[in-house]
Structure 1
Amino acid sequence: MKHILFSVVLVLLAFTAFAQRKNKTENVILITLDGMRWQEVFGGAEQRLITKKFVGDTSKLAKTYLLNTPEQRREKLMPFFWNVIGKQGQLYGNRKLGNKVNVTNKMWFSYPGYNEILSGAADDARITSNDANDNPNKTVLEFINGQKGYEGKVVAFTSWEAFPAIVNSKRSGVYVNGGLTKATNPNEREKMMNELMFQLPDVSGETRLDAFTFNYAMEYLQRNKPKVMYISFDETDHFAHAGMYDRYLASAHYTDGFIKQLWDWLQSQPAYKDKTTLIITTDHGRGNISIDDWRHHGSKMAECDQIWFAFLGPDTEPLGEMKTEQQLYQNQVAAMLARFLNFEYTNETKPGETISSAIKSK
């Protein structure tokens, strides 16, 4: 009997120790690159698209990005992804290796994709357009913002003007600086950006240039020290729709540079160094069958449900490019964000499961 009791006590102690262990992550930065294809993330510039139809100076672009191997091309295009995340974090979605990530919604465009990322579930009954209607679903940002110690510490900076509705900032209380929104209580740098934003040529209506989104986010981060920040970039999608493959690649390249600048700053700050996880993904894929399909996406365009994930932080094993055959889904991002912060995300609908390989076993 004593033997049995002793064994039971050991099991209970082990369970208690397991339950009390916490992730090292105290902060999460979620980043999305709108409509960024997995083909370029894992293979770099695609030779068949470097034509006069899609590129201004084909010789210059080929010399810059069209290197000998997919590995060389992708590293040239997105050096932070492959020199840092590829060595210190994890990247999922190289379908040539059987590593697949898909959306579960049936729409294959932006609002449904962002809703799935943020709420952890598709809503094909109610999210059927890109109209900026308030999201009926509770997002993981709203969930985290409601947790003790996180109130007012969850924010979003987005190029697309629809995000105050997608996050439902009126209901959630999450601060969203989206579209052509100026910084409030600006410092001198933000005052300059507030003016300059309206002095540049109108590129895409109410959607803000990504450089402004990034720099507004960085100023806020440095001054206010949020625990959760969402940064949504747009220009990869904008230039793809315009059929400008050179600018699509350029956008991917300088967005990679933004993320490097962000990570370098985080790692220089005691409040964030080795305590912060980056989650990076996209809202939808793009076509790839005919040569013109890369410009488009939607339910009638094959393969637009194919996406990718990247993770970097203290609780993610440095496995680099994931080469195992597996199937993951967009609806798993919300649960992952919460899990890194030691929360179990719940919603009106059951969110996708966490990705066990992306969080170190305890």
Structure 2
Amino acid sequence: MKTILKISMITLLLASIPVKAQQKKDKSPNVFLISLDGVRWQDVFTGIDTVLLNSPYTHEKKLLKQKFVGRSTEENRTLLMPFFWNTIAKEGQLHGNRTKGSKVNLTNTMAFSYPGYNEILTGKADDENINSNSKIYNKNKTLLELANDSKQYKGKVAAFASWDVFPYIINDKRSGVPVNAGYMDATGDLNEQERFLNEIQRQAPVLWESVRLDVFTHHFAKEYIKKNHPEVVYISYGETDDFAHGGLFDFYIKSLNNTDKLIQDLWQYVQNDPFYKDNTYFIITTDHGRGVGVEESSKWTDHGTEVKGGDQTWMALLGPEVKATGEVGEEQLYTNQIAPTIMGILNLKTDSKTMPGKALDLKFP
């Protein structure tokens, strides 16, 4: 009887020990910074653009109408980006709806990708040195590098991107931050899924030599996250901008809808992993805006200094200390506020000279 009792107690004890789940040893927060290249605030906050839907830019008008056109603006945007409007709008914050007076702008004057990503990641515009998309190593330190230089987050930072310029933007050689971008393979001790992704990423259609399909970026990131549990993660999805430049509104819209699903997939994973659950922030934004229609001065396919709306951006925030306000009205925010906000969440010091933007007060927007 005693032997049976001992065995039962041992069985119960073993059952109480998680086999695969990894608990975080401290309570330092995790941050996932996510960007969607060249996605307009109009598409996020008002849903599918019916002018562009009925323009020569769209070939599958009937299909898009069936999937993304409802009876109101609110229904349209929820059909297009259900995770944003069913989860973030209820549990977090959305900034940048200009119809409600919420404005988010770039501080760099370039309004294209490298300057935009530099501003997001460093908290400071650098028009003098960053005025092209050329593969030039960034002299500025990103928040990823600053985190990786810290005692708390050393070796716990990683970045994944669809665009192959990101190793230069993040300056992977100097920063030591592992960056998987473009058509780079996963390296190191690979699991079966990573080996499979390496094998197939160029077997799928290669639409652009410098930008891979976002599904590969997403799953390379997710496998790394599952294996290594990094605490500061940057993921840059890139398809939307390239589809827009190509004048392919159908693909732009479907890609935006899919990216919303990918972010939802990542959030669901995070909320079911004991390492990340209830201690992880998602901060989501874009690198620049773009034109609003078909006129040359504000053409939807373009962005940059001469394009009206190119400097208009947006941001979404979700996490344990983020006050659930949904859409915020009457404010002026800037993209350079993202980096100091993340540094504040991570409890890492910075200064106004390094990051001149004011960190957001997540509890009281």
TM over 0.5: yes
- Partner in structure 2 of residue 169 of structure 1: 172
- Partner in structure 2 of residue 259 of structure 1: 263
1:225 counterpart = 2:229: yes
For the aligned residue pairs, the C-alpha RMSD in angstroms reads: 1.6
- Partner in structure 2 of residue 21 of structure 1: none
Per mean C-alpha deviation after superposition, the further-off stretch among 183-192 and 338-347 is 338-347
1:280 counterpart = 2:288: no
Contact 1:78/1:256, CA 8 A, preserved across alignment: yes
- Partner in structure 1 of residue 360 of structure 2: 355
1:249 counterpart = 2:253: yes
- Partner in structure 1 of residue 194 of structure 2: 190
Contact 2:124/2:356, CA 8 A, preserved across alignment: yes
Q: What does 1:48-59 correspond to in 2, within 5 Å?
A: 48-51=51-54, 53-59=56-62
Cα deviation 1:271-326 (Å, max 9, x = unaligned):
11100000000000001154561110011111110000000000101111112x11
User: Alignment partner of 2:300: what SS?
Assistant: helix
| 1:104 counterpart (103, 107, 113) | 107
Percent of aligned pairs sharing the same letter: 48
| 2:149 counterpart (130, 146, 154) | 146
Gapped regions of structure 2 (runs ≥ 5):
1-26
1:330 counterpart = 2:335: yes
Contact 2:95/2:104, CA 8 A, preserved across alignment: yes
Distance 1:144 1:47, change over 3 A: same
Displacement after TM superposition at 1:341 (Å): 1.4
- Partner in structure 2 of residue 7 of structure 1: none
Displacement after TM superposition at 1:351 (Å): 2.9
User: Alignment partner of 1:327: what SS?
Assistant: strand
User: Alignment partner of 2:31: what SS?
Assistant: strand
Cα deviation 1:230-289 (Å, max 9, x = unaligned):
000001101111111111111111100001110001000111110000000000000115
Q: What does 1:1-362 correspond to in 2, within 5 Å?
A: 26-51=29-54, 53-184=56-187, 185-291=189-295, 293-323=299-329, 325-346=330-351, 349-356=354-361, 358-359=362-363
Distance across 1 between alignment mates of 2:90 and 2:318: 10
Per mean C-alpha deviation after superposition, the further-off stretch among 166-175 and 63-72 is 63-72
Contact 1:340/1:359, CA 8 A, preserved across alignment: no
Displacement after TM superposition at 1:207 (Å): 1.5
Distance across 1 between alignment mates of 2:237 and 2:42: 18
Displacement after TM superposition at 1:52 (Å): 5.2
Distance across 1 between alignment mates of 2:336 and 2:69: 34
Distance across 2 between alignment mates of 1:196 and 1:49: 34
Distance across 2 between alignment mates of 1:148 and 1:347: 22
Gapped regions of structure 1 (runs ≥ 5):
1-23
Distance across 2 between alignment mates of 1:210 and 1:289: 26
- Partner in structure 2 of residue 3 of structure 1: none
User: Alignment partner of 2:225: what SS?
Assistant: helix
Distance across 1 between alignment mates of 2:67 and 2:235: 28
Contact 1:52/1:58, CA 8 A, preserved across alignment: no
Cα deviation 1:89-143 (Å, max 9, x = unaligned):
0000000111000000000000000000001000000001000100010111111
Displacement after TM superposition at 1:345 (Å): 2.8
